Amino acid sequence: MKQLHVELGDRGYPIYIGSQLLKRADLYAGHIKSKQVLIVTNETVAPLYLDQVLQNLQPYQVETVILPDGEQFKTLEHLSRIFDKLLAAKFSRNATLIALGGGVIGDMGGFAAACYQRGIAFLQIPTTLLAQVDSSVGGKTGVNHPLGKNMIGAFYQPQCVLADTDVLDTLDDRQLAAGLAEVIKYGLIRDAGFFVWLESHIDALRARDKQALAYAIEQSCRNKAEIVAEDETESGVRATLNLGHTFGHAIETGAGYGVYLHGEAVAIGMCQAADLSLRKGWLSRQDVERIIALLRRAGLPVNPPAALDAERFLELMAVDKKNLDGKIRLILLEKIGKATLPIYVDRSLLELTLNTYGRD
């Protein structure tokens, strides 16, 4: 088992990474300070892993909320079901919430924990690669609003994260690839050495080699943890984590939620950001091709949907959360391993990328 620590003073916490973690009763016991435990999970994950988790929680008074699976249920309305259960069971402010699932469950469980009686303890057990390397680190929690993703939420840190590589065995190939998009992002924005490692281990990762996965998760979490420790509430360097995301959100919305997975849309967005970085004179054509090649080998799409033209892209990018004032700021790459802070991009240059990259 590997262990990382997210350095956030008295809100700091450990991330455990490895095989067989779900069965480690000692890890649960070390981070649960009360009798009352609520597990929040979903209809897909519950039949696979809920029993394994429950077996470690026999000393506790355990309640469970099983939500429907999907981003479309990440709403205030479904969040209420968690509060309903906590209150019906008369859980006190000493209770502990365990979020067992992917990013949606982690975001909702964490936000429920942040709000219930103004804050109770919570543990994250991410069950997708994406959640293990991204949403489980950094304390961003929340739900969607019909007018925008993640618009309602809190910064709230867990007691610990259990990233068990065994749960990735039940993840389908497409979900695994979507997680790899965020893994590759860490190489691109701040860790050229990791990018090179990924170029030589991408096949092992797709074959679910446990050792390779544990290393990739560790490096991803370490990179993210360092960024978050430096800038918890995203006033500076944390914004670099959004590489490809403004393009990506436009693709997700434009194609209709559910057509692209988040990681897939981000993969395409990172290619567009790379293309734009080439036009700025920062990346070489060869750099861009390396990036596209690695994403392709990870099983990810790299070209924007044909139906989404430049005009519609611009419209959707302007309503991204980071651009609510109508101006578009983007994260670009100065080189592989170094991202810019958010910058305003010349509109004609952006249109060039939108009109030509991946449009052949």
Which active-site residues does the annotation give? 118, 140, 182, 224, 234, 238, 242, 245, 249, 262
Nearest approach in angstroms of CB 98 to its own copies is 19
Sheet holding 61-67, edge to edge: 2-6, 13-18, 160-164, 121-126, 96-101, 36-42, 61-67
> Token digits for 342?
């958010």
Out of 9, 10, 51, 147, point to the residue binding its own copies (CB under 8 A). 147
For residue 85, the tally of other CB atoms under 10 A from its CB is 16
Candidate segments 8-16, 249-257, 321-329, 343-351, binder of its own copies by CB under 8 A: 321-329
- Specify the residue, 192 or 324, whose C-beta has the smaller distance to its own copies: 324
Q: What φ, ψ does residue 231 adopt, rounded to 5°?
A: -155, 80
Regarding 346 and contact with its own copies (CB under 8 A), the answer is: no
DSSP H/E element including 148: strand 148-155
Q: Select the residue interacting with its own copies from 192, 207, 324, 349 (CB under 8 A).
A: 324
* Residues 59-88 contacting its own copies, CB under 8 A: 76, 80, 83-84, 87-88
**Span near its own copies by CB under 8 A; candidates 15-23, 49-57, 141-149, 159-167:** 141-149
Dihedral sign from CA coordinates of 211, 217, 221, 224: positive
Distance CA 35, CA 61 (A): 6
Report how far residue 130's alpha carbon sits from residue 67's, in angstroms, rounded to the nearest whole number: 19
Residue 55 binds its own copies (CB under 8 A): no
CB of 242 to its own copies, least distance (A): 13
CB of 160 to its own copies, least distance (A): 20
Of 257-316, binders to its own copies (CB under 8 A) are: none
Enumerate the β-bridge partners of residue 39.
64, 98
Helix (H, G, I), strand (E, B) or coil at 330: strand
Out of 62, 78, 148, 310, point to the residue binding its own copies (CB under 8 A).
148
In the complex with its own copies, which residue's Cβ is closer, 154 or 237?
154
- 3-state SS assignment for residue 12: coil
Alpha-carbon distance 281 to 143, whole Å?
38
| Residue 238 DSSP class | G
Q: Which of 74, 140, 190, 245 binds its own copies (CB under 8 A)?
A: 140
In the list 18, 101, 109, 153, the residue contacting its own copies (rule: CB under 8 A) is: 153
CA–CA dist 127, 152 (Å, integer): 23
Q: Binding string, 172-211, against its own copies, x = CB under 8 A? A: ----------------------------------------
Contact partners, residue 55, CB within 8 Å, separation at least 6: 23, 25
Query: Comparing C-alpha atoms, which of 276, 243, 250 is closest to residue 353?
Result: 276
Taking the least distance from each CB to its own copies, the nearer of 24 and 78 is 78
Contact status: 359 vs its own copies (CB under 8 A): no
101 vs 124: CA distance, rounded Å:
8
Q: How many CB atoms lie within 10 A of CB 268?
A: 26
Binding of its own copies by 11 (CB under 8 A): no
| Closer of 196 and 319 to its own copies (Cβ) | 319
List residues bridging with 42 in a β-sheet.
67
Whether the CA torsion 260, 72, 239, 107 is positive or negative: it is negative
Find the binding residues for its own copies in span 217-256 (CB under 8 A): 233
**Between 28 and 91, CB nearer to its own copies:** 91
Give the residue with the Cβ less far from its own copies, 76 or 207. 76
CA atoms of 157 and 114, how far apart (whole Å): 9
- Size of residue set near its own copies by CB under 8 A: 32
Q: Which is nearer to its own copies, 242 or 353 (CB)?
A: 242
Tell me which residues touch its own copies (CB under 8 A). Answer: 76, 80, 83-84, 87-88, 90-93, 114-119, 140, 142, 145, 147-148, 151-155, 233, 319, 321, 324-326
